[in-house]
Chain A
Amino acid sequence: MICLHNIVATYTTRRGQVNAVDGVSVDIPDNMILGIAGESGCGKSTLIKVIYGDLGFPLALTAGSISYGFQNDGGQEVTLANIQKEWFKRISYIPQSSMSSLNPVVRIRDQFLDFPSVSRNKAEVLERARAFVQKLGLPPQALDAYPHQLSGGMRQRVMVAIATFFQPHIIFADEPTTALDVVVQKAILLLLMNLQKEMKSTIIFVSHDMGVHYQIADRMLIMYAAKAVEYADTEESFRRPLHPYTLMLTNALPVIGDDRERQGLPGQPPSLWEPMRGCRFAPRCPLATDLCRTTEPPLLQHAAGHYAACHHADRVAELKESLANAHDLIGVSR
């Protein structure tokens, strides 16, 4: 179990300091896929950067702590202080753009063997690597290629292979399939799901695509303006959301076969530079009342494992009903 306790992460810029993650406390169980969703600028990428331990100017942890629930080689509990020592030993990272992560002038196989644990017996590890990439649907010759010789989908497979080769406890992925076409995306996501089942590791991934979340995540964390607003099992978040933002996010995009009018989300998220009072979603929320504009709702457990930060969580089901019954059909020729 990864326990995040009141994480506040701050960027320092010439304009001053801004909290991109502002007090997030959640417990992430082992052996599951956690999806983090939200609009651009909501702090989802910053949050996984912090959990990954990639702290350095301009990003700094202002408050909070993380315990990762496993020990390092010396038998000490792993926390934020020593997480960087576990990079590509027990935790790994799949970046969005494989082209800018792989070294263009080094063959894939040499980048593959560039782990701290592979100083001796290179030949043996290479044999294992060849077998492993084959299992991931890559030809074994792909290891001898340079990154530019592979297609985008193959490169992303290489990134998945590098990140999972040493059976890590935790895998972080920041929009791992955003740059790919849908057909390739599906193959890579299914591959990740199967690898996770096999290795029983935890995958924490960020995506803006709610469809991707629904397909692969076991639990969902929804973020809005640097805060966690809902945290629940995926099926619950989509079928019985307790925060209007989650509902509106899933309803924002059209669905094939559904001719109802879609409006997207009205308005824009608040600027994190301005001082904020009350619920940060209140200006865009159809359920907002005076209470919302003055008092910030805490992230509370409403049902077993279902957390939401909303004063009117009990009225979200009503809102869902009314959206489902909207009859404005789009005017296109049929």
Chain B
Amino acid sequence: MKTIFKVEHLNKVYRLGSFPRAITIRALHEVSVTVESDEPVIISIVGESGSGKTTLARVVLQLERPTSGNVIIHDTAVAGRRAMARGTEFLRMVQPIFQNSFEAFSRYRTIDSYLYETATRVNKLNRAGAISAVEDALSAVGLTYRDVRGKYSNQFSGGELQRVSIARALIPHPRLIVADEPVSMIDASRRMLIINLFRDLKERYKTSFLYITHDLATAYYISDYIAVMNKGVIVEFGKARTVLSNPQHAYTRLLLDSIPRLDRKWNPATEALVAESRYGEGRA
């Protein structure tokens, strides 16, 4: 069994302000998760804003140094003690997809230049090899090189551009793709095209995904494992179906209970007071 994703006692403390009145914020507090498997897996991190899920993603992507603790991906330490250096070797192993692809790509550069650059710099390919790698990656997401060649980001729709950014992340054949809220900017009716693409790529490219989201329903749909975060702490972790069909922690139950479902209506007369008190709890 391979250690696909392992986080040990990870802490991240931010300091705001200067010496006399500095305040510290614990964005991550003793976060530990281990996923071992021979097959690629999709791991979801769910939680509300401020729960620390994006900080965790940034530490995994080496964009942020942890205050203490380790991160291991595919049996290799990427953050913490004896971590590998930042650079192309790391980028061949872990690749990001961000929430807003219109911000991720510059408006002043053509989209194909990003793909080409990833292929030449990260994969160290020559010109012809780079173009064929780009073509392969684009065909995996249902696009062709002609669709993107010479185009700028404003010539794409949100869903298309997010597919291109997935293609870019696929070029180095990474072991793990970290997707931070990849579908929250996409219209609900077309969200499933991207979500189904993740599932499909997991099989075809043997890539694992770390899916960071606040949407429990899509997390349930694609994840093998799920971790629920609240205020920098993982409150519940396990197989997605077990966690969401039989939640043990009160916070997981609160999240599940707050989803506007299509089968059972809320009762405003009785539930409002409960919601108010929990609203206080969640923010305290």
Contacts and interface: CB of A to CB of B under 8 A. Distances in A.
Contact of A254 (B41, B221, B256, B283): B221
B265 A214 contact: yes
A194 B274 CA distance: 14
Contacts of B203: 331
Contacts of B245: 256-257
A334 B275 CA distance: 32
Interface in B142-185: 157
A137 B275 CA distance: 10
A16 B239 CA distance: 54
Contact of B266 (A40, A190, A197): A190
Contacts of B196: 261-264
Given A39-B187, A214-B260, A253-B217, A262 B192 contact: yes
A333 interface: yes
A193 to B, nearest CB: 4
A210 to B, nearest CB: 7
Given A187-B275, A190-B272, A208-B188, A256 B214 contact: no
Max chain A Cβ within 10 angstroms of own Cβ: one of B255, B279, B282: B279
Chain B interface SS verdict (over half)? helix
B262 A214 contact: yes
Nearest to B48: A181
Max chain B Cβ within 10 angstroms of own Cβ: one of A152, A153, A183, A255: A183
Contacts of A181: 48-49, 214
Contact of A332 (B49, B240, B257): B240
A264 B190 CA distance: 6
A184 B192 contact: no
Interface string A249-284: 110111111000111110010000000000000000
A226 to B, nearest CB: 16
B262 A210 contact: yes
Interface string A125-147: 00000000000010000000000
Interface residues of A, number: 47
Given A254-B217, A257-B245, A263 B192 contact: yes
A252 B259 contact: no
B218 interface: yes
Interface string B267-280: 01101100110110
A261 B199 CA distance: 11
A190 B224 contact: no
A156 to B, nearest CB: 12
Interface string B199-229: 1000100000000001011101111100000
A313 interface: no
Contacts of B276: 137, 187
Contacts of B188: 39, 208-210, 249, 252-253
Given A208-B187, A212-B260, A265-B189, A333 B41 contact: yes
A183 B258 contact: yes
A189 B245 CA distance: 25
A183 B189 contact: no
Nearest to B194: A264
A333 B244 contact: no
Given A183-B255, A332-B223, A264 B239 contact: no
Given A190-B268, A256-B220, A333-B39, 15 more contacts: A39-B189, A39-B190, A151-B283, A182-B48, A182-B259, A183-B278, A186-B260, A187-B275, A209-B188, A215-B261, A252-B189, A253-B191, A262-B221, A264-B196, A332-B240
| Closest 8 A/B residue pairs (Cβ) | A264-B192, A211-B260, A254-B221, A181-B48, A193-B268, A187-B275, A182-B258, A265-B189
